[in-house]
Amino acid sequence: MKLVAGNWKMHDRGRALATAICGRLGARRVDVLLCPPFPYLREVGEALAGSGIALGGQDLHWEAQGAFTGAVSARMLLDTGCTHVIVGHSERRLLFGDTDASVAAKVQSALVAGLTPVLCVGETLQERDAGFAQRRIRSQVEAAFRPGCIVAYEPVWAIGTGRAASPDHARDAAQTIRVAAGPDTRVLYGGSVNATNCAPFFSVTDGALVGTASLDAEAFAAIVRAAEASS
């Protein structure tokens, strides 16, 4: 089954957007996941009750509890109704110092708690231009993937730039990921996915991780419908 996930990042959206998305999605043949900022998890969870749409966090700490100011644990995410958590997003890696080692620890902690990690991997523009894209993707998967993870291929140069990868590039990356992680691994594409460009990605991957376009209920619903059409 295809999965369309919305990563709301640090945008000021909560119940109203969740309600608007629910109102536009009826019975579905695809999975849908929303990842709002931590403070809005509970109200978004309430808005999603009975909709079949899943709730996820955008990050977690690998420890169960302790003196880690600003962090949240897997158990806390579970307690607010999450079933999923994004791990190793490139913004966490580039802006907050997440490393392959800390991403691996977060994946492990999420799985032990019963959350499904959406492990993000992807090369930078520099790595791509140097011909290292597939090698970088493979090394990120080998460092952190565990059975039970969903993997999101998100080339750093395509995130928030309006410049999506080509479907061929996404297909090659998905193949690299499945060689490293196992042939049945669910692989998403992320990076400037919108209602207009999404359809080809659904024929080469198992879904999409959507940032900017997930903040617009109509655009997000159109992406979900495109995923259904290719299912």
Per CB under 6 A, 191 contacts ligand PGA: yes
Shortest reach from residue 64's CB to ligand PGA, in Å: 27
Q: Which of 61, 89, 127, 169 is catalytic?
A: 89
How many residues in the shown chain lie near ligand PGA by CB under 6 A?
13
Give the whole-angstrom CA distance, residue 107 versus residue 87. Answer: 7
User: How is 11-50 classified by DSSP, letter by letter?
Assistant: ----HHHHHHHHHH--S-SSEEEEE--GGGHHHHHHHHTT
Select the residue interacting with ligand PGA from 36, 122, 155, 211 (CB under 6 A): 211
Cα 209 to Cα 188: distance, rounded to the nearest angstrom: 6
The reply to whether 89 belongs to the active site is yes
One of 2, 192, 205, 216 touching ligand PGA (CB under 6 A): 192
Binding mask 2-41 for ligand PGA (x = CB under 6 A): -----x----------------------------------
Does residue 151 belong to the site contacting ligand PGA (CB under 6 A)? Answer: no
Residues 6+ positions from 223 with CB-CB distance below 8 Å? 4, 193, 194, 195, 198, 208, 210, 213
What counts of helices (H) and strands (E) characterise the chain?
Answer: 10, 8
Q: Which residues bind ligand PGA (CB under 6 A)?
A: 7, 154, 159-160, 190-193, 209-213
